[in-house]
Amino acid sequence: MFRSIFTNSFGILISRIFGFVRDLLTASVLGANIYSDIFFIAFKLPNLFRRIFAEGAFTQSFLPTFTSSKHKAYFAFSIFVRFFIVLGIFSLLVTLFDTFFTKIIAYGFDKNLIKEAAPLVAINFYYLLLIFCVTFLSTLLQYKNHFATTAFSTALLNISLIFALLYSKGLPAKIVVYYMSYAVIFGGVLQLFTHIIAIKKFNLDRIFFYGYEAIKRKKGDKVELKRFYRLFFHGVLGNSTAQISAFIDTFLATFLHSGSISYLYYANRVFQLPLALFAIATSVAIFPKIARYLKNKDEKNAIIITKKSFWFLAYLLSLSTVGGILLSKEIIWLLFQRGAFSATDTANSSIVLSMYMIGLLPFGLTKIFSLWLYSQHKQKVAAKIATISLGVNIILSLVLILPLKAVGLALSGSLSGFVLFFLTIKEFGVDNFLDIIANKKMIYLIFAIIFEIVILLYFKDFVDVYI
């Protein structure tokens, strides 16, 4: 288990290192202004769908159904073709009506800004089609317990953007964001290419041939397809609360002063690092095993894996939360304050980061407990939980945006994370959860947090002299 977690974590770490280099260059070249806001808006919609597909609904609906399917090739190929066609048509619609879709996600922009952002939205959206293909292939690789290709290939997108920023440095900001948008597409192509190589290595490419033949001969089970679609559409909402919350933040931030979207973006990027590095990497690694155990009615071993994962994440996420809150200013200063990114931008982004970090622990722990719902085909229950959490987030965002601006948007998302966690635990079983936390490791965790606070406060006083 831990070998798979390490593989995912290390791959994600490599990707995030390149991601921070990318963000460092973006902050230096563009700063936190209207042009950076325009690019982040353009990339927001496909990036939202990427996280839903790669980290949530598709994989967690497809894998259990594929594992239990008696007609795997027919099922897999049917899903691939239908999704590819739908997403291809959707991408064309965004291209044809780019102004309309841009206005939906950036309603607070004036007409001139929407006109400038619309072509970039259309370009970036084709990344969705590419990343669906990547996700589909990566799910097949997960079935074979191969995680390395997906974990490490995510860095290719960031590398592509880094080259675009270096090449376009010194050009007008409007031109830079076009270079970045085309780099997003190129990065997606590179990711797809690496997955095709891995699929051939594991002889999984035969699924496409046999699937095509099965469809021609109508040898398959349409009941499995219907079950997948039902699970998938429930799972879209059920596993995507954090992403949808961030999307809502961006939408509402278009009504705030220039730079607010960028503050949310840079702070959320830091927040996403421990979430992806620890929580998402762990959930991806243990999901196939939990799905198999629960399919075979082996709840005992499923609990053992969940318990180990819980304490692993509890320590890492708790310590990350404390560090992120206490050192928020220092982190933003170190990563982004250079070039066009000013000290004021650092101060504003650091407060937003502190609010995001409050939600790290509940969002992270929910990842592993929600696996029980998905493994038992309870996507509908997960969707109801997510709907309540999302409703709380929207209400709090509307309440807090006026007095706290961007800070209020980040805080509302974190508070909704606690709602999501408590409702998920209720479905998992309160007694089962209490059995897990009734451990002496909890005492060790409390002492570790206190020790970290003391050390970081001394460190903070020392570092602040130089900031």
Encode pLDDT of 236-267 as tens digits. Answer: 666 666 667 767 777 788 788 777 888 898 89
**Helix 57-68 and helix 222-238, axial crossing angle in degrees, nearest 10:** 150
What's the CA gap between 440 and 379, in Å, rounded? 34
pTM exceeding the 0.75 threshold for the entire prediction:
no
Share of the chain above pLDDT 70, in %: 91
223: which 2 tokens? 């009941």
What's the CA gap between 208 and 134, in Å, rounded? 15
Contact 302, 372 (CB under 8 A): yes
Q: Find where tokens 């997108």 sit.
A: 157
User: Which range, of 3-7, 265-269, 402-406, averages the lowest pLDDT?
Assistant: 3-7
The half-sphere exposure of 293 on its side-chain side, counting CA atoms within 13 A, is: 16
pLDDT at 183: 94
Task: State in Å, rounded, how far the first CA of the chain is from the last one.
Answer: 42
Q: For 94-125, give the DSSP string.
A: HHHTHHHHHHHH-TTS-HHHHHHHHHHHHHHH
Closest among 122, 124, 114, 129 to 95, alpha carbons compared: 122
What's the CA gap between 106 and 60, in Å, rounded? 30
Does the pLDDT of residue 359 top 90, yes or no?
yes
Helix (H) or strand (E) holding 73: helix 72-96
User: Which range, of 3-17, 50-64, 173-187, 434-448, averages the lowest pLDDT?
Assistant: 50-64
Share of the chain above pLDDT 90, in %: 37
User: Which range, of 113-122, 322-331, 400-409, averages the lowest pLDDT?
Assistant: 113-122
Of 111-115, 119-123, 160-164, 166-170, which has the strongest mean pLDDT? 160-164
Mean pLDDT of the chain: 85
Contact 58, 79 (CB under 8 A): no
Contact 374, 230 (CB under 8 A): no
pLDDT at 215: 82
Q: Average pLDDT of 1-20?
A: 75
Q: Which residue has the higher pLDDT, 358 or 32?
A: 358
What pLDDT digit, counting tens, does each position of 109-130 carry? 778 888 888 898 899 889 989 9
What pLDDT digit, counting tens, does each position of 197-231 carry? 999 999 998 989 888 888 877 766 677 788 888 77
Q: Quick one: pLDDT band at residue 105, thresholds 50, 70, 90? A: confident
What's the CA gap between 173 and 94, in Å, rounded? 24
pLDDT at 54: 53
What's the CA gap between 320 and 286, in Å, rounded? 21
Does the pLDDT of residue 465 top 70, yes or no?
no
